[in-house]
Chain A
Amino acid sequence: MSEENNINKFENPYYKKRIVEGPDGEKFEVDPLKDYFCDEHPKVHKPSKIPVIENFLNWARAESLWVLGFGTGCGSIEIPPLMTPRFDAFRFGVQARPTPRQSNVFIISGYLAIKTLKRVIRSYEQMQNPKYVIALGSCTINGGMYFDSYNTINRLDYYIPVDIYIAGCMPRPEALLAGFNKLKELIKEGKAEKANEYAEKFEWYKANQKKIIKDWNMPDYNW
């Protein structure tokens, strides 16, 4: 193995400082981490002081749950049947969306490898508030049957905040529907405020994430 390969293994060449030539031949320096990404940390969105307005907003939030189509483990096989006539999650106002910017519910379906966790964090941070996380299956609770694996995490709530857990290995689509209903109740009561917790304890979450993602070659907050 050559030495050069070892040194540059963790660096992403896209984020390197470089000199770029403009369309009219002008040359200027680009530092992608500073110029392309905002380095501001997430902010806490406080609930409204007037209870009527806050209740109305929570009701509205509870009725529009848009799920990000991101399957992380074996549990993602339980999500396609949700959109079939048999289970029909659409009658609860739940629908799937392809990109993080368009959705506000993130279902972590099953075990998470470290490689996937990196993408999960990035997608979660790109989602817009109000956003909620559903952790599906026992792997997200304590590691499940992969508790001693070198490459899958044990507890999800150390890396991203979790609003509701659905236990089981694997939970059936009915359990997922029950989970959605429970999540709706929590939102209506104003208890699903984990996105604010992420903003409050941002440093702690980042420290945990960086402990296991050793080749951290992306910005701290991807807005």
Chain B
Amino acid sequence: MKDLINKLSVGFEITDVVYQRKDITFLTVAKEKVIDLITHLRDYEGFSHFVLLSCVDWIEDNIFQLTYFLNNPEKKHDFAIRTNIDRNNPVMTSAHHLWKQIATYQRELKEMYGIDFPGSPRLNENFILEGWDNIPPMRRDFDTKQYAKDTFFPRERPQTNDPTEYMKSKLYPKE
């Protein structure tokens, strides 16, 4: 696999390589090169199976990190293509033309993180949340506990005690 990565790093400007496991390698590339790299891997290197597309919200660095997971069924090897996009203007090139199921992942990311994928089919339809009118719920600046408290009529919970302090006061009240 190292030969392949050396070959790829010339044309696709791979900035970071992490050998996570014997059969998983993480590659970090620029936002513009992702679709080219995935297409190349699919058509010429045998990475024909698309596993998943996920997102991590790094609010401290002001970026969303997208991960495209590809699998080579013959060599039993996984490539995870990582890229960072700006959190204030989250737009990414759509990849639904490569595998059909990417459109569903992109719908989910649009709803949960608010990342826009122009041209992706049925992108603005409701996926899981119906009639959501707040900021996207998987962003880390969304306070889910406060939202649930304000919205869902929480039931009052019984008062809880710290077990050590409580037993001390019960058993040795004078101390």
A residues contacting B by CB (< 8 A) are 1-2, 5-6, 9-10, 113-115, 118, 141-143, 147-155, 158, 208, 211-216
Contacts and interface: CB of A to CB of B under 8 A. Distances in A.
Contacts, number: 66
A148 B137 contact: no
A158 B155 CA distance: 11
Contacts of B126: 9, 215
Given A148-B148, A154-B153, A208-B153, A115 B137 contact: no
Contacts of A1: 116, 124
B60 interface: no
Interface in B35-93: none
A5 B126 CA distance: 11
B152 A10 contact: no
- Tell me the interface secondary structure of chain B in the complex: loop
Interface of B: 116, 124, 126, 128-133, 137, 142, 144-145, 147-149, 151-155, 157
B155 A154 contact: yes
A169 to B, nearest CB: 15
A158 B153 CA distance: 8
B148 A149 contact: yes
Contacts of B152: 143, 152-155, 212
B157 A148 contact: no
B145 to A, nearest CB: 4
A119 B171 CA distance: 53
Contacts of A215: 126, 130-131
